[in-house]
């Protein structure tokens, strides 16, 4: 008797070059914006046509380095550029609310780096503003749009895993402690959960939906942000997600979904183009799928941009694969985990 894992479905819309081309503006051109721009220019027809920063010199240097036509010394100038269709908000997450609502207020579609905001409350504000303006808004959780994720999505939709019981995910790396760095400064939204843990929580949400309960334990850096965290999320039917994140040690960056009929284990890292290993319910190995696109690491961000371009062309205002309410729900989980751990939030007080 054959098993669903013996013949895997093909990923749908795997080639970003097939998507309609949009003209992109980038707000806060830093390292992540550089990789995003290079991914779009190298692997799709999408084009970043403008960069905006509070520093005209910084914006001009970014534009020159990455083949961008125009640069602006203010965020307001970029969002009012009539030749920009969609704005990519690439700032540290404490500025996401301000910059996303600025772009939305100018009538622009927005792709907002993960996490979409620092708190669920701020994420709700962004979602409400986009819905009222009738523009497209999406969190840049690029893992959701990778070919490997679509394979798993199809198998989940078909019930190929049976009754889901256990989901796992980890993401951690070793960072030297620097109280002024983005990873450790509360004012910059520091902490492992918001920067890295959001990937793990989003994976659990992808497989199990929003949890009914959250148990979190962790340790704090001297600045009061979470430097390590472990979460147990339990769904209404008793399935559990076991998640870990941290900035003091490198971890495997693997993710799994296990059910009564079989399981999938990702290759490392689970959050970018890699691969999948499938096992039947008796533990025997089935298929092994590997991403052969030639896109590596942050090249995979091109998939989310291509997906957004398709959605806009179809007249949608949210991603059907990762709607705004799910981005908010992920932050509800992170808010609660940060509260239980006692992490310090933006502005030096308790986590918002």
pLDDT band for 158, please (50, 70, 90 cuts): very high
Is the predicted pLDDT of residue 352 greater than 70, yes or no?
Answer: no
Task: Name 171's Cβ contacts closer than 8 Å, sequence gap at least 6.
Answer: 196, 197, 199, 200, 244, 245, 251, 253, 269, 270, 271
Residue 2: pLDDT band (50, 70, 90) is confident
End-to-end Cα spacing for the chain: 53
The yes-or-no answer on residue 114 being catalytic is yes
Q: Which of 114, 144, 322, 338 is catalytic?
A: 114
Q: Are 37 and 111 in contact (CB under 8 A)?
A: no
Does residue 345 have a pLDDT over 80? no
Q: What is the DSSP string of 120-170?
A: HHHHHHHHHHHHHHT--EEEE-GGGGSHHHHHHHHHHHTTTT-SEEEEEEE
CATH 3.60.20.30 fits 144-297+322-341, yes or no: no
For the domain spanning 16-142, the CATH number is 3.40.50.720
Check residue 4 and give its pLDDT.
87
State yes or no: pLDDT of 1 exceeds 90: no
Contact 231, 202 (CB under 8 A): no
Alpha-carbon distance 337 to 139, whole Å?
20
In what order do the strands lie in the sheet containing 109-113?
Answer: 70-72, 47-52, 23-27, 86-89, 109-113, 137-140
Q: What is the pLDDT of residue 347?
A: 54
Instruction: Judge whether 208 and 215 are in contact, CB under 8 Å.
Output: no
pLDDT value at position 112? Answer: 98
Q: What average pLDDT does the segment 235-244 reach?
A: 97
Residue 267 has pLDDT above 80, yes or no: yes
Is the pLDDT at 49 greater than 90? The verdict is yes
Distances in Å between the Cα of 169 and the Cα atoms of 22, 45, 162, 183, 248 are 33, 33, 20, 20, 17
> What's the chain's average pLDDT?
96
pLDDT for residue 32 is more than 60:
yes
User: What is the distance of C-alpha 143 from the center of its chain?
Assistant: 6
Q: What local confidence, expressed as pLDDT, does residue 175 receive?
A: 95
pLDDT at 56: 97
Helix intervals (H) in 20-70: 31-43, 56-66
Does residue 350 carry a pLDDT above 70? no
Domain ranges for the chain: 16-142, 144-297+322-341
What is the per-residue pLDDT across 110-150, written as a single tens digit (0 to 9) for each?
999 999 999 999 999 999 999 999 999 999 999 999 999 99
pLDDT, position 3: 86
């Amino acid at each position: 008797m054959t098993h669903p894992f013996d013949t895997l479905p093909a990923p749908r819309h795997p080639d970003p070059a097939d998507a309609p081309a949009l003209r992109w503006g980038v707000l806060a051109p830093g390292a992540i914006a550089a990789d995003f721009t290079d991914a779009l220019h190298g692997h799709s027809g999408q084009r970043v046509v403008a960069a905006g920063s509070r520093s005209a010199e910084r914006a001009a240097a970014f534009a020159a380095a990455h083949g961008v036509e125009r640069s602006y010394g203010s965020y307001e100038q970029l969002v009012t550029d009539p030749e920009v269709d969609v704005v990519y908000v690439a700032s540290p997450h404490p500025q996401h609310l301000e910059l996303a609502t600025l772009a939305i207020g100018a009538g622009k579609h927005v792709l907002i780096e993960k996490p979409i905001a620092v708190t669920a409350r701020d994420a709700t504000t962004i979602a409400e503003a986009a819905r009222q303006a009738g523009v497209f808004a999406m969190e840049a959780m690029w893992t959701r749009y990778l070919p490997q994720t679509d394979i798993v999505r199809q198998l989940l939709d078909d019930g190929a895993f049976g009754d889901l019981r256990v989901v796992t995910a980890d993401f951690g790396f070793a960072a030297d402690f620097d109280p002024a760095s983005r990873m450790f400064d509360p004012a910059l939204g520091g902490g492992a959960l918001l920067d890295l843990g959001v990937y793990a929580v989003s994976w659990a949400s992808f497989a199990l939906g929003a949890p009914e309960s959250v148990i979190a334990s962790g340790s704090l850096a001297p600045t009061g942000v979470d430097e390590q965290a472990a979460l147990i999320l339990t769904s209404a039917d008793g399935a559990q997600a076991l998640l870990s994140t941290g900035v003091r040690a490198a971890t495997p960056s693997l993710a799994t979904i296990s059910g009564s009929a079989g399981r999938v284990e990702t290759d490392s890292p689970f959050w970018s183009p890699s691969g999948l290993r499938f096992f039947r319910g008796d533990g025997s190995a089935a298929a092994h799928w590997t991403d052969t696109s030639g896109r590596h690491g942050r090249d995979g961000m091109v998939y989310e941009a291509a997906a957004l371009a398709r959605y806009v062309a179809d007249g949608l205002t949210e991603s059907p694969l990762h709607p705004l309410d799910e981005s908010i729900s992920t932050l509800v989980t992170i808010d609660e985990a940060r509260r239980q751990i006692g992490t310090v939030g933006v502005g030096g007080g308790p986590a918002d």
